Structure 1
């Protein structure tokens, strides 16, 4: 992977943000020299601060929802980085735009009719599971399949 720098986006609530850190952890396990950037909403910072699997926390601030100019400046910052892959767990309009602006040949998310043109790899949420991991975990790990064939 080019530079082994990854961008993971999960701008939801505290539990979702914490649960999605397993993506960051698996990226570090399978790419030990990887750099992982994690986009989260600012109110969820306490649950990931100090996490050894996250090299840079990028805060999505409330002001970006109120000001299109501030949001656009925030988006432009993603053009300064080059990522081996972008993994959009949130898959809503804001994260679609972050993914669109981020420089990466590999962009992974869940399948939505309105964002198919942004991503290279799309997955559908599973509604059933055969494992003991649970749907939330399995659906997140599914997003790693284009990058990691034998997930540990």
Structure 2
């Protein structure tokens, strides 16, 4: 159980116009949505806006707890961000919550001129805000960090899965893919998505082992295995699919919401520690994640339907993005992952 060292602060007043900031990665933005729900429950009649970047913003569309989504380009120039800050200032927010708290989001929060600006304490940045609770994080699901920040200023709520609304268009698009690939027609076993990719080299399990795992899943469970891919990953994943002893499926091209629809229609998601695992939690699909340099407990939703496996090495959870030896991934065998799949499918079947 996580032990939060929190300095509780007072002075948060009612808020009618709220801005939440979470930039950068898809997974981080999605993992902010439980905190948005808590805010909405606490402020049911307030206007809540979310500032994020253009890529992950797609996963916020249709979120019932948000009134507006504001986007910035990932590589905005200083002048572009200054223009955006002026627009934020015109909105006259009375509460800004910066879950990202990097130098740029800090000064943008300050320039909103909101009378209440909240972020976790960070040396050298806290003066940009009005409230900076000091939260000493332990080892638990990352969403709890965001909820701890809210609790520290008197906004309490329970942990829930991330919120992601899959559009009808995305569902129809994936239904058509399933029809064209003859999936679910006389399908005896589960439909399983596999994500062999990651932006970070250190987070990638040995790609060929995913192929061997897929073959075993076909042999043992008569599974239909779909390999998913994203921008600049098509050729690599296509090559993997072609190495299989069985005709595994290559996913159709998808945007983020269509990918969510694909994972939602599947029975199980398996992959590296990247955004699709968080999408699986949000759409209610059980997941198994292969972990190495990052802590499993920090990124795995606490439920029997979501598990993580790791190789047994001394350098686990080193937080490297690049690794020359890749010991943690080499140590994890296909047999160990298959055993974890067996346990998870047993829970699903029951």
Once the 2 structures are TM-superposed, how far is the Cα of residue 103 of structure 1 from its aligned partner?
2.6
Query: 3-state DSSP class of the match of 1:58?
Result: strand
Match of 2:115 in 1: 105
Matched, 1:139 2:145: yes
Residues 35 and 143, structure 2, Cα contact 8 Å, conserved in 1: no
Matched, 1:24 2:36: yes
Aligned length: 145
Q: Separation in 2 of the partners of 1:123 and 1:23?
A: 16
Match of 1:56 in 2: 68
Once the 2 structures are TM-superposed, how far is the Cα of residue 54 of structure 1 from its aligned partner?
1.1
Residues 126 and 135, structure 1, Cα contact 8 Å, conserved in 2: no
Q: Separation in 2 of the partners of 1:103 and 1:35?
A: 17
Once the 2 structures are TM-superposed, how far is the Cα of residue 123 of structure 1 from its aligned partner?
2.9
Map 1:1-150 → 2, pairs under 5 A? 1=13, 4-64=16-76, 67-128=77-138, 134-145=140-151, 146-148=153-155, 150=156
TM-score, structure 2 normalization: 0.39
Higher Rg: 2
Kindly indicate whether structure 1 or structure 2 has the higher relative contact order, using CA contacts under 8 Å at least 6 residues apart.
1
Deviations 1:100-150 (CA, angstroms, capped at 9, x unpaired): 111311111121112111112213443325xxxx341221012213142x4
RMSD value over aligned CA atoms?
1.8
Deviations 1:64-84 (CA, angstroms, capped at 9, x unpaired): 2xx222221111111102223
Q: Separation in 2 of the partners of 1:30 and 1:68?
A: 35
Q: Separation in 1 of the partners of 2:142 and 2:63?
A: 20
Once the 2 structures are TM-superposed, how far is the Cα of residue 85 of structure 1 from its aligned partner?
1.2
Q: Which moved more, 1:139-148 or 1:119-128?
A: 119-128
Q: Separation in 2 of the partners of 1:123 and 1:32?
A: 24
Residues 15 and 95, structure 2, Cα contact 8 Å, conserved in 1: no
Query: 3-state DSSP class of the match of 1:39?
Result: strand
Once the 2 structures are TM-superposed, how far is the Cα of residue 63 of structure 1 from its aligned partner?
4.9
Residues 137 and 145, structure 2, Cα contact 8 Å, conserved in 1: no
TM-score, structure 1 normalization: 0.85
Query: 3-state DSSP class of the match of 2:106?
Result: helix
* Unaligned 5+ runs, structure 2: 1-12, 159-350
* Unaligned 5+ runs, structure 1: none
Q: Separation in 1 of the partners of 2:135 and 2:28?
A: 15
